[in-house]
Each structure stands twice: as structure tokens, then as C-alpha cells.
Amino acid sequence: MFYLSVSQPGNYQQTVKRTEDAFQACNDIVACFQERARVERQYAQQLSEWSTKWKPLVDASPLYGSLLQAWQCFLSSADRFSSLHSSICRALVSEDGDRIRTWQKETFHKKIFGGFKESQDFETGFSRAQKPWAKRLKKLEKAKSAFHKACRKEHMAREREAHAQGNPDIAIEKQRKIQEETELAHQETEKVRARYEKVLEEVTRYAPRYMEEMESIFDQSQEEERKRISFLKQAFLSIHRHLDVTNNESVKAVYNELHNTLMSISEQEDLRWWKNTHGPGMPTDWPQFQEWTPDKKHKKGKKEVEQKAVVMERSLMIGGVRVRALYDYVGQETDELSFKVHLNKLECRGKVHLFQ
């Protein structure tokens, strides 16, 4: 109970220390979720690397049709998730972390020689309220010690008196003296008891005022703590909102698209595509009857012969190297050359047929 704990001087220190503990807790919270942000960043990078690695392999895989599209959709979904987790990383650092840092700076005011102004204010308030109480407690403790000392002294006197009574070895005068000492000890005890009871009564009478002053300072501390708890609750809710991908519309959209792509896998469509592309359904150029058409012959003009000669001369050079026929060849078409092998030269007749 607060009443019992603060009845002893200095027992408010935990309440004062709570302010400094809250400041340190803010540091720990920021550090904690900065580390979580690094986890999100690394996960985003791994997703991107995984997608980049597998995309060319998947594109070149033997799968086709809707089945290939489904596999590719996993990779495109990973790219979108990579962007999502990168945004989570940024939100944890730049939004949540900065928000806590800003609030921390506005709430806790550091002193030049260490500590915080808020802690010092509570320390001063509690100390001022406890000072007269501590003084009364000290006086009460002194009165109690005096009373207990008198009680012990009276108790020892009564024991001596009891031992002296009926003892023939102790003179009557001695016994009478012992009885007087016992009576004096009793009187002293009663006197000290009265003083003790009076001091206790003063302390008891002052207690309500003391508790009122202490509770006033304590309530101020509680109000500050309430504000801290309220703020950190909202900060945690914001962090939860950023991390809770189950309620993220972008995530839902990615998974819905992926699910729809998987559900659109069609055995019939894929098999039909393969049949029409690589099977009996593909276009076929069947052999057809072709009429013979005689070649049209015409006289070669001088200019045409010269041009053919130039072209022939050029055609004999391939990559800057002059070529030589290895066998005779008679052109089959009007635009082909005829070759005859000679020992020292290559004789060419007919038209030139260029292959590009």
C-alpha cells in the first residue's frame, strides 16, 4: 500500500526514478524497432534478389501457358512484397522512431549536471512533504526507545525484588532498598510511557496532512505517467499498424491477384496451345501442284554485261580474299553465274546471283 510505503522517509524514490526509467524505456523502444526495421529491409532485399535470380530461369523454363504465368506471378508478387517491406522499414524508422524521439525530447528535460527536471521536481516535492513527518518520526522513535529502555529497567528491578524476597541471606534493609528501586523504575516507566503516547498522538494527528501532501505530489507523478502510457500505447498501435500485413490492402491485392492467377491455370487451354503451336494443330504448308513456266530469254545489252562483270569481279572477293572455283557449275536460273575451273583463272558466265 502507498500509505505504508511512504510512511518511511525516502520510500518515494521508486516513484521519482520512474521518470528516468521511462526515458530509458523510450530509448530501448526506438532501438528495438530500428533493429526490426533492419530485418524488414534485409527481407525486402532478399525477396528482390530471389526474384531477380529466378526470373530469367523461369522465363526460360519448359513450362508454358497459364502454368508459366502462375510461376512468373510468384516472382512479380515477391517484387511487390519487397517494395512493401521496404516501406515498412521506412515507416518504422522515419515515422514511428522519429515520433517517439520528438515526444521524448518534449517530455523529458535534461539538467546540466545530469538527471531530469521532472525527476527533480518530484524529488523536491516529496522531500518537502516528508521533512516535518520525518522530524516527528524521529522524535517518536526516540520516545519509543526511552520507553522500552525504562521497561527493561523496571523488569530487571522486579526480577531482583522477586529474588530477594524470602531469601534469608539478604538483609531486610537491603530488601527494602530493592523494593524502592522497583517502585522508582515503575514510576519512570509510566512517565516515559506518557511521553511516548503524547508523541505518538502528535504523529497520528499529523498523519492526514502528511498523506494529503504526499498524495498531491504522487498524483502529479501519476498524471505524468498516465500521459506516458497513453502516448506509448498510440506509438505501439502505430507500429502494429505498419507491421500488420494481414490488414494491408496492398498485401491483400497481391495475394488475391496471385490466387486468381493460380486458379486460372487451365489444363485444356495449355494443351490446346501446345497442340496448335507444336502439334497437329499448327499451320502446315502441304505440297501443291505447280505448273511449269518457261524462262523468258532476252538479249543482254552491253551496259548490262559490263555491270555483271563488275558484280562478278566483286563477288570473287570475300572478306578481302579472292576465291577460286573448285568445280564446274552451270547456272540453273537466269540470275545465277556459271563457273568453269581453269588452271590460272576462273571463267564466269551468266547473270549474277547475290546472297545477302
Q: Report the pLDDT value the prediction gives residue 149, as an integer from 0 to 100.
A: 94
Q: How confident is the model over 93-117, as pLDDT tens digits?
A: 999 999 999 999 999 998 888 888 8
Q: Report the pLDDT value the prediction gives residue 47, as an integer from 0 to 100.
A: 95
Q: Report the pLDDT value the prediction gives residue 353, as an integer from 0 to 100.
A: 41
- Closest residue by Cα to residue 23 from 99, 126, 123, 118: 118
Q: Report the pLDDT value the prediction gives residue 355, as an integer from 0 to 100.
A: 38
Output the CA torsion 197→198→201→203 (10° steps). Answer: -110
Domains defined for the chain, CATH in brackets: 1-256 (1.20.1270.60)
Which residue numbers in the chain have pLDDT < 70?
1-7, 297-327, 329, 331-356
- DSSP labels for 280-327? TTS-----------PPPP-PPPHHHHHHHHHHHHHHTEETTEE---SS
**In the block, residue with C-alpha cell 507500429:** 239
* E strand or H helix at 347: strand 346-350
